[in-house]
Amino acid sequence: MTEQQLRDEAYAMPLARPSYPKPPYRFLNREFVIITYRTDPAALERVVPAPLKVAEPIVKYEFIRMPDSSGLGSYTESGQVIPVTLDGQAGGYTHAMYLDNLPAIVAGRELLGFPKTLAQPQLEVRSDALVGTLDYNGVRVATATMAYKYHALDLEEVRRSLDAPGYLLKMMPHVDGSLRTCELVRYKVTDVVVKGAWSGPASLELHPHCFAPVSQLPVLEVLSAVHMITDLTLGDGEVVHDYMQPHRTR
């Protein structure tokens, strides 16, 4: 392989067979359970990177079942998203993500900077309730319950709520272990179709773990819960802040 062929063909590791295809990625029948809860404001301030600003002392804890993801397969994900603002625009900062699919972990980390970690989340219906659990190597980290399709929501209103941008902290090391890339990335989902959406009573428990510290944003009060089924596309993003070159920021 010549150097020119390498530049033309390569886009991800390993060279012989990258772990994931190029984006965009289309998700069909992607099912969310999102529990919004009030937490400790000081705890949020410790984990949200500037120039993002904490919007209010709440966290959205998510369980997501993705049975049909182009190029990535079928998997389940769980994690925390923090409402933030950047230059006055509302969005969500993804603080933690745990999932059970290697291509999705590698693609998410390398392309956009999703903070994905290997774990064992589940989302299932048990009689009249949705139950989400997150285990890290056999240790229970999170348990959520929500009434199943309890109260129908306006689908267009839910779709508009998905228009807000997401923010990610993308970091990559140099060969000596020093920080080579540190960027704030903004992304949006597109081609969103909301097939169903419901609210209802919910509960959430978070438990300490050294490698899955979701409980460091403690649950003080559950405020609301949403269950929805969607189709959507995740494409590329844009760098909105370069921490390594401050003079080249927005």
The number of residues in the chain equals 250
| Residues that are catalytic | 116
Integer Rg of the chain from CA? 18
At residue 15, φ and ψ (nearest 5 deg) are -60, -45
CATH architecture observed for domain 20-248? Beta Barrel (2.40)
Average pLDDT over residues 226-249: 88
Residues forming beta bridges with residue 186, ordered by sequence position: 167, 238
Tell me the domain boundaries of the chain.
20-248
Q: Collapsing DSSP states into helix, strand and coil, what is residue 215? A: helix
Decide if pLDDT at 247 tops 80: no
Q: What is the pLDDT of residue 250?
A: 45
CA distance 165 to 89: 9
Other beta carbons within 10 Å of 159:
16
Give the mean pLDDT of the chain: 96
Model-level pTM?
0.95
CA-based nearest residue to 41, from 27, 59, 29, 28: 59
* pLDDT tens string 100-142: 999 999 999 999 999 999 999 999 999 999 999 999 999 999 9
Q: H or E stretch including 245?
A: none
Yes or no: say if 161 and 154 are a contact pair by the CB < 8 Å rule: no
